[in-house]
Amino acid sequence: MNVQGFVSTRAFKLGLFILCLFPLARLVVLAVTGGLGANPIEFITRSTGTWTMVGLLLTLSVTPLRRLTGWTALVRHRRMLGLFAFFYASLHFVTYIWLDQFFDLASVARDIVKRPFITVGFAAFVLLIPLALTSTQAMMRRLGRRWQQLHRLVYGIAILGVLHYLWLVKQDLTQPLIYGGVLALLLGARLPRVAGLLQGMAPRVASRSG
């Protein structure tokens, strides 16, 4: 079986699903074994924030990777990756609202208004909700062209995610800049000329790996 065939299998899908659950399983194991460190809330917030960002970047890498490799079956897994990004964003948000703010909604509202990194993170989270709600095949059919337009919001959401991280770090900007760099590459790969170039390489790469 070639790579394209393997990517289409249920085993690949299941493997990817299990991989996506790994960050949550790790948090549960660390929580049970007392491995979350001196500040468990910070640990959970940071971990879920990281995996939201990684999930968004993985979702955005599907199309350029498909163009480059010719493995069209990759697109079948984009929805799962996007929904996992939303899942970790929800955990991130719930950790903040519940464990950090103890459901003090007035304090949360003050934070959203007064702390720019929270404002930007919150905007990104709110924008993710319609994408998650319309991620089904039925909604795709129902919305037609508007579905694609709506889902372009993910580019802005990922930019807001990077800004959120850049805004919250106080000293070492390395990690948010790495995310920003990867995002710039993934967005750049969508420019018509670059996309055409990647597509032009596809048959060669696909036949090499075939």
Q: Residue 18 Cβ, how far from ligand HEM at the closest point, in Å?
A: 22
Eight-state DSSP code of residue 73 = G
Give the binding-site size for ligand HEM (rule: CB under 6 A). Answer: 22
Q: Which of 12, 30, 43, 46 binds ligand HEM (CB under 6 A)?
A: 46
CA-closest candidate to residue 188, choices 198, 176, 175: 198
How many other CB atoms are there within 10 angstroms of residue 21's CB atom?
A: 13
Instruction: Confirm or reject binding of residue 87 to ligand HEM (CB under 6 A).
Output: no
Instruction: Confirm or reject binding of residue 125 to ligand HEM (CB under 6 A).
Output: yes
Maximum Cα interatomic distance, the chain, rounded to a whole number of Å: 58
Instruction: Confirm or reject binding of residue 60 to ligand HEM (CB under 6 A).
Output: no
Q: Which of 3, 16, 168, 206 binds ligand HEM (CB under 6 A)?
A: 168
Q: d(Cα 19, Cα 86) in Å, to the nearest integer?
A: 16
Q: d(Cα 14, Cα 198) in Å, to the nearest integer?
A: 28
Residues that bind ligand HEM (CB under 6 A): 42, 45-46, 49-50, 52-53, 89, 92-93, 96, 118, 121-122, 124-125, 128, 157, 161, 164-165, 168
